[in-house]
Structure 1
């Protein structure tokens, strides 16, 4: 039957993250630091709003672009939090997660052979989504020595006549790196010089700790050429609700809406009603979660460094990305042995691109009790490796 498959799909590799999740799922007593998902339950107020919508019978399709009420709340939120002005009627689409927002953005702007710059280490879906849209992903590798941040010089060197867009993710998954305003300004000079589009994945914008989050779309001359992608999964602990959104220039949004109409129709109504409540009254919940994540981040960074796993301090998201190079093991070897010997699941860094080799991703979106036990087990594993 494989002869019936698309050659593009046949050549796609399965997600490296899923392989380790599946392996860990078949084992008892595993502490997972692999899942990129908040350990918090969605707030009761949001759940109640969704339940109420069902009780009232609001179970029909919404507008393709999403409930106007929700788009109006997103409009207010973007202005209030990020100083970005979008029209709810023609500059915002509610999507089935930020993942679908990325998909329709790529499909709306990429022609066959267009190049899209992907900053690595990067989330596993970015390059495949570019490929599925007919484009060519161009990886630019960052290093721990530079805080896993793209420089203007690297961006300039990666651009060719076929380059159409660049995808940025700040705070970053998997490294947690945060691009500060002055760093974004240096990149925008190159972006404007070469007339590039920007896809800005801002799903972790609410989870910024030490620096201040700046959307690249808020910088001079950048709003119209930037597609801002975000959602409710991370900041509002609504992963299973599968609800995201995309904001941009009306022409770009109109094109994305065409793809969305044919591929998805609309996001689930009950999830949208819950999201209205989240934006209207849920910001304190976000603040409380962020404080908890910050404490956990500090604990994980200090603990990993103390046991000899060099780890930079991430500026946002809920991941640490320690180096395991001193062990002499590859990322996959380290992750597999840690899982088999100590029942701790982490994600090997190489699944996030070549520059991720020599690192592992650990999520600290777990209880402090679980993190403390995971640290004890990792330290024990390191002791065993050093005395093997």
Structure 2
């Protein structure tokens, strides 16, 4: 009897292990693997600094803030210290703080970074809920940083490297503009981040989802890359605008859109990494980080359960210029001619627009390589320049969404 029980237990454990192994996403090999195991991070201390002599306050007590220290340098200058969550890290110093004063006055804020980093982003300012770029005459060079001249008063002003779109801001956007008025948009969750924040998914289709080819849209793997998020927003808004084109498209295709893949890094004000100190867009191989593992699991399980082939993946980012990073291998993918046709259409549909493409097969474990090697699908990293005007971003986002829908419908 005991022997039977022993072998029954062994068999049940073996079956459980097989079932767990079957539910885990398939790992994808890359030529140059990267260690994406957890790394220590330095948390900024959340506080409001008050400089009594000036009557000025500076704070980082809000989601998306980045301010590591502050001190008064002279009778009109406050030096602000900004440091990354850990190193090594890209040279993209992010900052975000709020300031106000007891009475109106002009104050100079000196930005200071660690020795190996240089200033990148032009300061943006939010007053009374509206964002604008700070006038260049009020921004002066200072070593490797900048000095910002600002009139302050009792009304708090938020200064940041890029417009802040926290996880709550993103939630308000997709609830108001995507989910609430469209019954064909199904709000789902891919699970939680390392710190327990939700990873939302916008599952978009009309009718029965079974058998529909799947398009995947990703953004905010890197927290400060907000211009890419703006393009993502317009891209998604165009898909759900209830036009004849979008109605036909969602009747034949399914879209899985991830509006914030790194909510921890976004809300913590990180320069690039998640709360485990890892670049998520280097983890698309072994999925050591929960955000990528959950996203990959959701995509692959959805594809398997509803028998929908993954045909295209677009990952929205920001960099110094507008550029599309593509894979050279195309003939064996789901859509071998899509990239060339899509880019031709964009140059035709957008006035004075020239596609900037950089093609190379992914050697590092990034998302566009995962789509190619793991799914046999077209993968594209869709980059928007840091300084691309917002009106132009929205124009490109809309035109690229329309062109994608038209081209994919031609394939059906």
Give the TM-score normalised by structure 1.
Answer: 0.28
**Structure showing greater Rg:** 2
The structure where strand makes up a greater share of residues is 2
Give the TM-score normalised by structure 2.
Answer: 0.27
